[in-house]
């Protein structure tokens, strides 16, 4: 099947009419380790994610701005007896120029340019969900960015709830060291085909302002608000409106960094333990944020100490971090390690023939 696909794409590249046609192979290989020691926290047991992921793709670029990409996401959990533990399709159209971009289909989350707090996506969620299914449009410039994303991640069926999310993110810089922005998420967590009347609406708004500057160390300091509106239509109790403030601080040099994230406010996961009509708790099926934001003690603090660098013209990236998480009552620990490498050789260029 793979050989047939390559032959078809080569034929298209050879006989099509556009001048700048290219066929590229894009390989992304990553190993990730995420160990959490959360027993007793009320948000889940301790667990370890340890796996290797390969995303090989073929990109047919039929002019300078337009391309079609086909490939797969292949996952192997360390210690598993299976040859592969998961395989998913990657297939999308991409438009890209110096300022605007768009993707439609199933594509890597690395295509996104938005800024999102862990109150939107936890480390574990990003590790386990590297693909987006939907459409994104973006604008990037030296002074700022804007992004719109529709991600459809749940098919209406007897096995899975219908789920989709709309994300908006935008921001810009001012006064040389200042920046400001906003991120918004609207999540629709609906029914399975076996029942009705169990829709949950989950909205989150995160306006923020910050500064980045260098004083021997690189500093990043950001202050933001987290404003949530959530409703479970099964109970018809109306909207719950948990809100809070978030202060982020990072100091780094030579790849070594210390960062701290302090959240003060109401728990952002009021329906975490709610049981749906299918007999399953909402929990991580509904919430994709770091679950510590659901603290019932009005405070959550995360302190990370780590190392993060890129090498070989940014084709190899290494990150290692130990994080201490305090939920207002007790301290918990998390360890993260990630190593990734990418290659993107040109297989065929119509102007220069086979490479």
CB atoms within 10 A of CB 112: 19
Block residue for tokens 């439609």: 104
Query: Tokens for 2?
Result: 């793979």
- Per-residue model confidence as pLDDT tens digits over 286-343: 999 999 999 989 999 999 999 999 999 889 999 999 999 999 999 999 999 999 999 8
**Other beta carbons less than 10 A from residue 63's beta carbon:** 12
Domain boundaries, the chain: 35-49+96-344
pLDDT of the residue at 4: 53
Q: Could you say which of 2.40.160, 1.25.40, 1.10.540, 2.40.10 is the CATH number of the domain covering 35-49+96-344?
A: 2.40.160
Phi, psi (5° rounding) for residue 33? -135, 125
Per-residue pLDDT at 29: 96
Note down pLDDT in tens along the chain; length 355 residues: 455 555 554 554 444 444 568 999 999 999 999 999 988 887 767 889 999 999 999 999 988 899 999 999 999 999 999 999 999 999 999 999 999 999 999 999 999 999 999 999 999 999 999 999 999 999 999 889 999 999 999 999 999 999 999 999 999 999 999 999 999 999 999 999 999 999 999 999 999 999 999 999 999 999 999 999 999 999 878 899 999 999 999 999 999 999 999 999 999 999 999 999 999 999 999 999 999 999 989 999 999 999 999 999 889 999 999 999 999 999 999 999 999 999 888 887 877 765 5
The CA distance from 296 to 280, in Å, is: 22
Dihedral through CA 343, CA 125, CA 180, CA 212, nearest 10? -60
């Amino acid at each position: 099947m793979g050989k047939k696909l390559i032959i078809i794409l080569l034929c298209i590249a050879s006989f099509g009419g556009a001048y700048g046609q290219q066929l590229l192979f894009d390989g992304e290989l990553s190993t990730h380790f995420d160990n959490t020691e959360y027993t007793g926290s009320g948000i889940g047991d301790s667990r370890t994610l340890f796996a290797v992921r390969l995303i090989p793709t073929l990109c047919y670029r039929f002019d300078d701005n337009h391309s079609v990409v086909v490939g797969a996401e292949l996952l192997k959990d360390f210690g598993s007896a299976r040859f592969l533990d998961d395989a998913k399709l990657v297939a999308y159209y991409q438009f890209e120029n110096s300022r605007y971009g768009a993707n439609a289909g199933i594509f890597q989350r690395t295509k996104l340019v938005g800024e999102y707090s862990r109150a939107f996506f936890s480390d574990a969620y990003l590790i386990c969900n590297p693909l987006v299914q939907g459409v994104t449009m973006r604008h990037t410039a030296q002074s700022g960015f804007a992004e719109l994303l529709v991600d459809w991640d749940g098919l209406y069926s007897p096995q899975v709830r219908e789920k989709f999310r709309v994300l908006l993110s935008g921001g810009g810089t001012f006064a040389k060291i200042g920046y400001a922005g906003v991120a918004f998420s609207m999540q629709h967590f609906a029914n399975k085909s076996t029942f009705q009347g169990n829709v949950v609406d989950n909205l989150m708004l995160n306006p923020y302002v910050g500064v980045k500057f260098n004083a021997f160390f690189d500093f990043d300091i950001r202050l933001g608000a987290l404003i949530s509106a959530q409703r479970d239509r099964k109970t018809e109790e109306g909207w719950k409106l948990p809100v809070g403030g978030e202060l982020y601080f990072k100091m780094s040099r030579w790849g070594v960094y210390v960062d701290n994230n302090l959240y003060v406010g109401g728990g952002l996961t009021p329906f975490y333990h709610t049981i749906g009509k299918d007999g399953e708790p909402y929990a991580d099926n509904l919430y994709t944020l770091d679950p510590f934001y659901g603290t019932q003690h009005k405070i959550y603090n995360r302190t990370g100490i780590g190392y993060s660098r890129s090498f070989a013209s940014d084709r190899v990236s290494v990150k290692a971090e130990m994080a201490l998480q305090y939920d207002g009552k007790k301290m918990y620990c998390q360890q993260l390690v990630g190593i990734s490498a990418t290659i993107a050789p040109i297989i065929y260029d119509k102007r220069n023939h086979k490479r």
